Amino acid sequence: MAKEKAQVYRKLFELIKVFLLRSVAQRELEYIQAKGYKFTTNVELGLVIRCTTPRCEKVLFNHVAFDRNLKPLCLKCCEKVTQTEKKEISVVQYKKIEELADICDGYVLTGTN
Ligand SMILES: [Zn+2]
């Protein structure tokens, strides 16, 4: 009984996690589009990228914004730059929302983690 209950909680936790990941990625995309930042594919991404603003260093998720010197910034730190610098921000998307959703859905279906 307790084991079944634990499995239900685990499944519920995984479901909530997938839902949140997809929501965050979608919200990021909508925010970037609303800000008018341009997308690029000209920058190679490492596995883990952090915001380069001192004292921020937030780990970036599905969208990585770069300033004109190709320094990664989180979306919050993009707000702190000048209007001129904002026009030079470019964004790289790790995965399209559909690809991300497929990965997340596959994760839930196999339940290997
Ligand atoms: Zn930052």
Compare 47 and 87 and report the one with higher pLDDT.
87
The pLDDT confidence band at residue 15, using thresholds 50, 70 and 90, is confident
The pLDDT confidence band at residue 107, using thresholds 50, 70 and 90, is low
Q: What is the mean pLDDT of residues 57-63?
A: 91
pTM: 0.72
Percent of the chain with pLDDT over 70: 94
Distance 69 CA to ligand 1 centre (A): 15
Distance 90 CA to ligand 1 centre (A): 15
Distance 60 CA to ligand 1 centre (A): 9
The domains of the chain, with CATH numbers, are 2-110 (2.10.110.20)
CB half-sphere exposure, 7, CA atoms < 13 A = 5
Tens digits of residue pLDDT in 18-50: 788 788 888 889 999 999 999 998 888 888 899
Compare 44 and 82 and report the one with higher pLDDT.
82
Percent of the chain with pLDDT over 90: 45
Q: Return d(Cα 37, Cα 74) in angstroms, integer.
A: 13
Distance 16 CA to ligand 1 centre (A): 26
Inform me whether the pLDDT recorded for 106 exceeds 80. Answer: no
